[in-house]
Structure 1
């Protein structure tokens, strides 16, 4: 019997199946959505015009030269790998910080990202990641190369090229009637790449526009005597609460844990003579990059990305901290997670910055948020609040609610026993099996917020004996993988004092009594806080 020829139906079926399989694989890679809930959805699995363009290039090369060269197929495989990596970065960005990846800004954040990952992972996990990431990229490249060379071999035969052309025509017919049988181009890899290029191209013009705005400060002409005169030299503490977002008030998974603690916080404050006004404030970010929220709060300008933050550092604008210094305050930033040099701290106007190495902590680390919030508040109270000759403006960064929210430090009833933190040795119990890792992260997040609220309750009611003004606010919502897609950027803010006159301006902003904000009140943009605060507490000048 004569051997089966390459043109037999059996061989044609197998090669066609491989061709379609190669196209489906590349389509899943290049059409990857920006949210995990849309994986394998209609747009993800629809035919990709981008893959069709790649195959069209291979068909043209075969028609002109008889076959596509190995150099061309390797280059297309590498290009598909880069586009696939961009799609993976985009979906990660949406899941973690709720916005598209922006290469012109985000590449400079790699050191910070690696620092967070290193702090949250064990040594074996870091080694495994160092091996796995290059291996995954290599496997993706080999899969791309297989898919493209499979398509190239299929398209070397003229009948197969005609089949491919007919399939494209078949896709075009529904489009004539307003239907779209293919994946949307505006959500594809090429569109994402084009957006990256446009962001980089617009950077210069936007830079000049924003810089002019940053240098416009309506309060710069106030005299030092007028600045914050109505505070009466009372201490002011701004306590940024990591990942304390509106989601704890509106999502039943978190509200059931947090609402009773907020109610208890309210009762404890009332018993000690404190009033509290609460509202919502809109952060410029979600999921991460807390320093952008801190900078927005202090500068009175919306710093929604690293480029704007860097531009602010060049602007010469006076931050809220500068105004406190002009009013005679000693200014401090307490940043227990700051483990490297922070030269921009000088721009923000702090007289003293307390970093990780300054905190004297001798206890065990608790995940990425190594130093417990209870220790941070106790340490500064012992070291500074008892020994000073000027009123204080302190910005705290409370970090125990920073992801991955495990292990959680214990809350000690006896604050006098905290000392250098060595009391925490052996106090990090292992999580139950059903609460470890990503599967238990929602409850871990709720518990971490609950912990910091209780720390604040105990600290304020035990140790704040005067009419200080205390401002507790979230820096941003947690990652969208905690809140779900489409969550707001709002965070709770609580203003606490024994002096009703210090609380009155916040009532005019729409803040309401108690620790639970009214849900129907619109949030105050975080960038408006500085100017509103200066206007409320500075003396009016004539002339």
Structure 2
């Protein structure tokens, strides 16, 4: 008969196994829930597994190595799914979608690889497999310990009595167990439900995507009221409402916006600003670009892929029909982009086309200042038709370091080699305890791109072009905090008041600082911009 000390050790090991598996399977999807009351409560799901093991032992069936390995591998999968859900909510502000997010792994790895040093990448390649093996071994140890404890009848009775006692507590309003609707089973059920509804949603969206109210417009009527003026569409990476709503970021950005306002007025520009609601948060910028161009809300990769087969005309294709040369400037694009064929751009400027010979500034290797200068030299100075240019400005992409310096002499940019050896003098040290390293870097990166745009527009745009600057999405929740909106600022700039007039009717206000406190109109959904724009600037809009 085992000694009393051995029995106590087995009981302690059993409780530790229950606690470990519960912490792993009930991992919350946001940092604020870590080791909170719900996370620390005993897991009913683990109790259920242990109950099955107890019944098997009572029936004389031994929970052998194969069964424990199967359970351990299942738990490892659930831990990985939990970690993925945690990462998704932390970085892009939404739950994991297993059916779609697996397709994003190459893009995620590309961002991580571009943001890390060679030593960090090598360390990760070692650390990740080691961590997975360690978790599997911990799972095996937990189930082996539980099986040994439950092999003895007195221990099974003790376990059953404990469950009965915890169950009785629920009758008097006490919640002894972690919430089942936050557990691993609920997460799996949610993933299964999403997969089951995918085909129905796909059919519904396919029908809607095919209904384009402007498809019948003649080429002569499309965007006729623009008067063949150039249109610059500038997507500003991670430029979210948080820079205006959060006092820390606003203290950095608002003076620059006000200076931007004064500089525009001095050069004869008018500006209208507002808020527009992005379909995403934290990442997957192409979904925002696609939503803006297509006029339909593309909130996930499945809808984006469906749009590519819909035959719907993008905003770029309408510009082509109006006689414009259409360009996509994508300095972070390092691989083929077959989707560009659908969106209808005459030329796609990828990173390898940009002739950049300067140093890489982290993942956002090519500075926004260089991108704007290069395209101005290569496209705006030598053309024989009006231009519609979509820019992806990336210097404010995480991890927001190193930040390139802003050069006063644009003529010195050349092929970018001027950046070698230069340091950024603009990044100020934190001014108080509210700052941490990453939030300050984010604020400085947004400030850099705003100053770059100010200098470019006021020094290089000498006509009545229409310029649209908007954020693609809010930054990650680790920057905005929990519960942030999906709204992003949008600025419409031109010297021609007639081009600005429609945006006043949409509720946009004068100046570079949008109204964020008690606005008179709610943020404009990003997907509504295409149809509103076509209606405002086409000669005979349909619908």
What TM-score bracket applies, with the shorter chain setting the length?
over 0.9
- CA deviation after TM superposition for structure 1 residue 315, in Å: 0.2
Cα offsets for 1:21-66 (capped at 9, x unmatched)? 1100100000000001110001000110111011112112211225
Q: Is the 8 A contact 1:67 1:153 kept in 2?
A: no
- The match for 1:499 is 496
Q: Is the 8 A contact 2:217 2:542 kept in 1?
A: no
- The match for 1:537 is 537
SS at match of 2:308: helix
Q: How does 1:90-169 map to 2 (within 5 A)?
A: 90-169=85-164
- The match for 1:230 is 225
Structure 2 CA distance for partners of 1:232 and 1:442, relative to 1, 3 Å = same
- Residue 318 of structure 2 is aligned with which of 300, 320, 323? 323
- CA deviation after TM superposition for structure 1 residue 323, in Å: 0.6
Q: Does residue 1:399 correspond to 2:362, yes or no? A: no
- The match for 1:17 is 12
Q: Does residue 1:450 correspond to 2:447, yes or no? A: yes
Q: CA RMSD in A?
A: 1.7
- CA deviation after TM superposition for structure 1 residue 252, in Å: 1.4
* Structure 2 Cα separation of the partners of residues 371 and 250 of structure 1: 29
* Structure 2 Cα separation of the partners of residues 295 and 73 of structure 1: 47
Q: How does 1:162-201 map to 2 (within 5 A)?
A: 162-201=157-196
Q: How does 1:343-422 map to 2 (within 5 A)?
A: 343-422=338-417
Cα offsets for 1:300-322 (capped at 9, x unmatched)? 00000000000000000000111
Structure 1 segments unaligned to the other structure (5+ residues): none
- The match for 2:456 is 459
Cα offsets for 1:149-203 (capped at 9, x unmatched)? 1011000000100111111111111222343221111111111111111111211
* Structure 2 Cα separation of the partners of residues 365 and 528 of structure 1: 36
Q: Is the 8 A contact 2:57 2:150 kept in 1?
A: yes
Cα offsets for 1:95-153 (capped at 9, x unmatched)? 00000111100000000000001111111110100000000000001111111110110
Count of residues in Structure 1 that have an aligned counterpart in Structure 2 = 536
SS at match of 2:312: coil
Q: Does residue 1:517 correspond to 2:514, yes or no? A: yes
Q: TM-score normalized by structure 1?
A: 0.97
- Residue 467 of structure 2 is aligned with which of 459, 465, 470? 470
Structure 2 CA distance for partners of 1:331 and 1:481, relative to 1, 3 Å = same
* Structure 2 Cα separation of the partners of residues 207 and 47 of structure 1: 40
* Structure 2 Cα separation of the partners of residues 469 and 11 of structure 1: 79
* Structure 2 Cα separation of the partners of residues 188 and 270 of structure 1: 56
Cα offsets for 1:413-442 (capped at 9, x unmatched)? 00000001000011246999999xx95110
SS at match of 2:228: coil
- Which stretch of structure 1 is more off in the superposition, 461-470 or 438-447? 438-447
SS at match of 1:315: coil
Cα offsets for 1:349-372 (capped at 9, x unmatched)? 100000001101010100000000
Q: Is the 8 A contact 2:430 2:440 kept in 1?
A: no
Q: Is the 8 A contact 2:367 2:404 kept in 1?
A: yes
* Structure 1 Cα separation of the partners of residues 192 and 289 of structure 2: 29
Q: Does residue 1:241 correspond to 2:261, yes or no? A: no
- The match for 1:60 is 55
Structure 2 CA distance for partners of 1:283 and 1:541, relative to 1, 3 Å = closer
- CA deviation after TM superposition for structure 1 residue 18, in Å: 1.1
Structure 2 segments unaligned to the other structure (5+ residues): none
* Structure 1 Cα separation of the partners of residues 257 and 498 of structure 2: 23
Q: Is the 8 A contact 2:214 2:541 kept in 1?
A: no
* Structure 2 Cα separation of the partners of residues 275 and 477 of structure 1: 26
* Structure 1 Cα separation of the partners of residues 218 and 174 of structure 2: 66
Q: Is the 8 A contact 1:66 1:156 kept in 2?
A: no
Structure 2 CA distance for partners of 1:131 and 1:429, relative to 1, 3 Å = farther
SS at match of 1:361: coil
- The match for 1:250 is 245
Q: TM-score normalized by structure 2?
A: 0.97
* Structure 1 Cα separation of the partners of residues 408 and 429 of structure 2: 27
